[in-house]
Structure 1
Amino acid sequence: MRWARTANARPRHPRRPRLAPEASRSNALHAGAWWLWALGLAVAASRTTNPLLLGLIVGVAGYVVAARRTDAPWARSYGAFVKLGLVVIAVRVLFSVVLGSPIPGTHTLLTLPEVPLPDWAKGIRVGGRVSAEQLVFALYDGAKLATLLICVGAANALANPARLLKSLPGALYEAGVAVVVAMTFAPNMVADVVRLRTARRLRGRPTGGIKALVQIGLPVLEGALERSVAVAASMDARGYGRTAQVPPAVRHTTTALTLGGLLGVCVGSYGLLDPTSVAYGVPLLVAGLAAAAGGLWLGGRRSVRTRYRPDRWGPRAWLVAGSGAAVAALMIRASVYAPEALHPGVVPLTAPTLPLWPAASILIGLLPAFVAPAAAQPSQENP
């Protein structure tokens, strides 16, 4: 009896925390919140070359993706971005070995044959001495760029591209379609490659080598072309591109505000990324956002489309976006008051240390793993 009761009992699943209900159409997190969270982590990564902090950012992004991604095709692209980041690091180190580096070093690892170059190519070196200092500098620099790519990959894996397009202002709808199609190309391509490799493996065919790569690449390109034609046909059937008539003065004002605001956003963003330009970066960014918002509001009057079930920006979206903004703000502050902790020395070589305050600020980025709606798990019933 005891064995039968145990066999017929349903498997127990761990209870979900009350802060994270199962995701549904009514409580789905706004796609823009995921992008703001990921951009906050990317800004934090741009402020440091400390490999320990960069690894912590990657760990935070990976944990949130593992906890909150769905089974959608675009959710499988995170692993591809991680592999792309590793390739970036390898290429950066290879370029440093072959083309040299301006970083002086005293610890020579090897000496490559140096190719003589003409006088007009002064300052460029091919081959020569390779030092440990230049390799470490290249490794730090490549890890920084790889972390930025991984943060973008986290946003691609968590945000629904269709819902992101649905939330764009009317003035940016045309450009938003192109951007969303471009963002979904990589996830869909990864999904197609995985599907084709699985099919070849089940049929007993090899999945590696140049021949298999060519045989997989052609169906992937064909599938991408078919999706593009299907998207174009659906857009044409829905009357895409129709606009309302507005006075010329409104059009000119919209153009001036939008272009000026976007220019201010670009200059302000550069000021935030450059540690020496933080003073004017924030005011220009705020002014640019205000001007761009005014231009987008006026430009939205030309759009005649309606939104069915628009996504709401609720308290959970504020918490997710705010966690990314908090990580970025605290890392910017740390780069101003403690730059030596975020940029370990290369000449002379010193072992990187983990600064506690910046590391604690990065851990704030884990908040979406506990407050964002969790993907619904399939129920397991008894046969």
Structure 2
Amino acid sequence: MLDAACRIVLSEGLAGLTLRPLADTLGVSVTVLTTHYGARADIIAAICSAACAQDALQAERWRTTLAALRSMPPAMAADLAEAILEEQATQQRAVSLLYLELLHACTWDPSLQPAFAAWRAQQRAFWDEFAHRAGLAPALLACGWWHGYVVAELAYSMALDAQPAYRMLRRLCLQRLFHGGAASSPDAADATLFALLFEQMQPGAEGSAARPGSARTPEWAARAARACGIRLAAQGVGGLTHRAIAAEIGVPHTTLSYRFPTQHELVMAGLESIAAHILTAVNADSLADLQRLRTEGDGQKLDLARANFAMAIAAARMPGLAAYTAGMRSRRGNNLVKVFGKYMPAAGGIDALCAQVVSMGLTGLTNTEPPGEASELSVASAFAAAADWLRESGQPYSG
């Protein structure tokens, strides 16, 4: 049943994992399925239990490797973390996508949380044990930042592992992370390489589209694109339906379907809206402008960290989204450089690569909890822990 569930999620996402498709994939009737396991919640619980058991075997194999090491210097920690992520994104791809889809869905569907809790706790325990052995600051584990980092990187790995530039960026970030986050000198070689990879991962002209609300876009279509972007961020691709968007913006379902015939086109419209919002944020002149973007207009509803995560998961099964996702991954931390520059001017080595590392953990953490005040407090706590970590590890440059 786990295998059948994974095949459905690989092709249709978690929204496709309902009783009828699962029964059909297994070659049994819905009655047989429910008689044996119970309601959908019980079936999801059984699937999570099987996945948890399978993951436990893989984790134990890695624990054996780690236990054989007397020490784990930073370079080795980065290599091993990348090897585990690579294995999860390729050899264990189907189960990993199911994990990410459930993790994301639990932030808006609390009915899934009991079934998923043990699997999630097991994954976090393994990665926390890894980081402890590697000597990562305990505060980064306790606040959930490190678990968030792994979750975010796994999502991007699922979508972008075929791209050499992304794989190099993933390694570069892990190396910087385990070496303390801050750059060792103003002209650090990894910072130069990061700048080159950043350029390589930007979408080309074929990946660009007119921004929603341009002169040739009807006003209602621009509203539809914004609504798609907000829904993508809040509920992923599964929450993006023609009927839901049409009802939200007050146009006939047929009118929306005529302009956006498929779900993929709704996804692309939402993505363009998200990209436009991100571009505005990246080009903000001040921290005050950034704060206004978060609290006014679409920013009140559109959480960019959730939007990025939703697109990475979607790109794992929709290759056409890979170019956009690569651009989003490369831009992680762009705005955080400004924040660190204002609030931590004396800390050395906080460059764009350092900010990206910190941003990855905050992005992942944001997507492990339901939106709201509790999530805001968790992210604020993680930001404070990361700032303390950088103050301790970064040394002001001389001269």
- TM-score, with length taken from structure 2: 0.25
Which of structures 1 and 2 has the bigger CA Rg?
1
More helix by share: 2
Structure with bigger RCO (C-alpha 8 Å, 6+ apart): 1
TM-score normalised to structure 1 length = 0.26
